[in-house]
Structure 1
């Protein structure tokens, strides 16, 4: 594995944070005015997933010498960072572990699990688009 690929991928993952914040603002200030809360939450999850895939495709596809093994490691690291960040911010803002775990139940309307899966799939999408 090229450690350079992993180090280059970290700022890309960090760029997901403002994208997620903007998405949350869009949900809270726009979507909820037109949709029920549960629907707004689901639409927001889809938008964030697509946004993460696009950002990763644009930025990570420019990384030279990106192998399938690199993508696997990057996927694991990005998923780990995403879950740790979400739990860290949630606990820091007063949410309980039970409340945070509810986000992983898609039947609640929260598609956070889709966001985590998209984050993990994003490096492979970038590799595939680079190889075309």
Structure 2
């Protein structure tokens, strides 16, 4: 009689190729985010003010990230593991925060000003964007993936 604990454990090997399409989707989301920033500066802020424009712009970007993520994972034929979905979320988050700090540095924005955007106690809501990027793959990849 073979003990239950000696049954072989099936493990997936690391599949770098499953990150190619999500990386491409992040590029699309980055373009959407830049367009959203332009919309915020030229349309929202002049009409509703700095803070309200920031909040509305953040909400619009979160909605765009959720829609794009849902569309991708609903249509993807890739069978992602939960670990891969978490890694996609981490990748998107790291790329976004890194991009934000890089652009800030290129524009001459002090690091303290970029960090201040994450201060929820000062009424900042930007942190919701990286949190959405982190969780969207797990949410939609697990729920909407084709079987």
Instruction: Tell me, in whole angstroms, the C-alpha distance in 2 between the residues paired with 1:101 and 1:109.
Output: 13
* Aligned twin of 1:129: 144
Q: Could you say which structure has the higher helix fraction?
A: 1
Instruction: Tell me, in whole angstroms, the C-alpha distance in 1 between the residues paired with 2:122 and 2:40.
Output: 16
TM-score, with normalisation over the residues of structure 2?
A: 0.82
Matched position secondary structure for 1:15: helix
* Aligned twin of 1:72: 86
Q: Is 1:112 paired with 2:126?
A: yes
Matches within 5 A, 1:8-23: 8-23=21-36
Deviation track 1:96-122 (CA, whole Å, cap 9, x = no partner) reads 110110110134443210001011111
- The gaps in structure 2 that reach 5 residues or longer are 1-13
Instruction: Tell me, in whole angstroms, the C-alpha distance in 2 between the residues paired with 1:63 and 1:97.
Output: 40
- The gaps in structure 1 that reach 5 residues or longer are none
Q: Is 1:96 paired with 2:110?
A: yes
Does 1 or 2 have the higher relative contact order (CA < 8 Å, sep 6+)? 1
Which of structure 1's runs of 4+ aligned residues deviate more than 6 A?
none
* Aligned twin of 1:31: 44
C-alpha RMSD of matched pairs (Å): 1.7
TM-score, with normalisation over the residues of structure 1?
A: 0.90
Aligned length: 132
Decide which structure has the larger Cα Rg and report it: 2
Instruction: Tell me, in whole angstroms, the C-alpha distance in 1 between the residues paired with 2:146 and 2:123.
Output: 36
Instruction: Tell me, in whole angstroms, the C-alpha distance in 1 between the residues paired with 2:85 and 2:107.
Output: 32
* Aligned twin of 1:59: 72
Matched position secondary structure for 2:144: helix
Does structure 1 conserve the Cα–Cα contact (< 8 Å) formed by 2:105 and 2:111? yes
